Amino acid sequence: MIGRVLPTTVVALILLFLALPIVVVMVVSFSSATYLTFPPPAFSLKWYEAYFGNADWLRPTWLSLWVAAAVVVLSTVLGTLAALGIARLPRALRIIATGLILSPLIVPVIVVAIGIYYAFSRYGLVGSPFGLVLAHTCLAVPFVVTSVSASLAGIDPRLEQAALSLGATPMGTFNQVTLPLIRPGVLVGALFAFITSFDELVVALFLSGSRAITLPRRMWDDLRFQIDPTIAAVSTLTIVLTVILMACAHYLRKRAEQTRMSTSSVAP
């Protein structure tokens, strides 16, 4: 009995520890109080009204969405192409290339941010949405490459050979065989790219300037200069969006695993 109860309790406590702050934020977002307090004296939707009625919140939200959308397109195309290229490299080169592409994840983000800030300031890319798109793409590409590479590794290379032997050109092989098979991996990569950009603060702090304010940057400013439960409402909305996207990613991964199983296994 104890052998089963103890681990269950430990896991439950860990999950509680992780989830509790999120739950508190969500509860506070429905508070009627004008200051951050827990538990809330009464419930209301006024902080959601405050958010949706204020251009100072909506403008950064739209900018974040646009930037994230652009990052998704750029990083998915670049990351997928990179993964395809890497898969065809000899082993030694493959490790080097993967390491280089993953480096934005390895180097502390503040270092990356400072580097990008100095480089971009020379070309007037600070305070421009385009600069944010480029910087976030650097951070998002590793996720796409990782996800697409995993999908590619699960594909029998003979499928591509079969397509070529049947008369499909390399481009036709990619469109009709490779892409449909790695599509779940590409979509998962795209979702992570979106989340990476949409949640990103450190680089945005350096690159937003005074004109290209993203939602995380706006939240940061809000926390520094005034604290009211609007921030809790915004956080809750962001969390909900992220959870939905993560659920999609999870579903796609499951499906990818099934496809992989049906390509590699042979029924007797």
- Minimum Å gap between C-beta 163 and other proteins is 7
With binding defined as CB under 8 A, does residue 180 bind other proteins? Answer: yes
Identity of the residue, 93 or 243, whose beta carbon is nearer to other proteins in the bound complex: 93
With binding defined as CB under 8 A, does residue 175 bind other proteins? Answer: no
With binding defined as CB under 8 A, does residue 83 bind other proteins? Answer: no
With binding defined as CB under 8 A, does residue 53 bind other proteins? Answer: no
Backbone angles phi, psi at 40, to 5 degrees: -70, 145
With b for 16 or more beta-carbon neighbours within 10 A and e for fewer, the 61-97 pattern comes to bebbbebbebbbebbbebbbebbbebeeeeeeeeeee
* Segment interacting with other proteins, rule: CB under 8 A, options 55-63, 69-77, 162-170, 230-238: 162-170
With binding defined as CB under 8 A, does residue 156 bind other proteins? Answer: yes
With binding defined as CB under 8 A, does residue 93 bind other proteins? Answer: no
Residue from 179, 180, 201, 199 nearest 191 by CA: 199
* Segment interacting with other proteins, rule: CB under 8 A, options 4-12, 64-72, 144-152, 160-168: 160-168
Q: Which of 168, 205, 246, 248 binds other proteins (CB under 8 A)?
A: 168
Pull the structure tokens for residue 251.
């579903």
* Segment interacting with other proteins, rule: CB under 8 A, options 81-89, 171-179, 219-227, 231-239: 171-179
Q: Which of 78, 138, 181, 191 binds other proteins (CB under 8 A)?
A: 181
Identity of the residue, 46 or 94, whose beta carbon is nearer to other proteins in the bound complex: 94
Q: Which of 83, 177, 202, 256 binds other proteins (CB under 8 A)?
A: 177
* Segment interacting with other proteins, rule: CB under 8 A, options 40-48, 185-193, 205-213, 257-265: 257-265
* Segment interacting with other proteins, rule: CB under 8 A, options 11-19, 96-104, 138-146, 172-180: 172-180
Q: Which of 19, 172, 240, 254 binds other proteins (CB under 8 A)?
A: 172
- Minimum Å gap between C-beta 184 and other proteins is 11
* Chain positions contacting other proteins, by CB under 8 A: 156, 158-159, 161-170, 172-173, 176-177, 180-181, 259, 262-263, 266-268
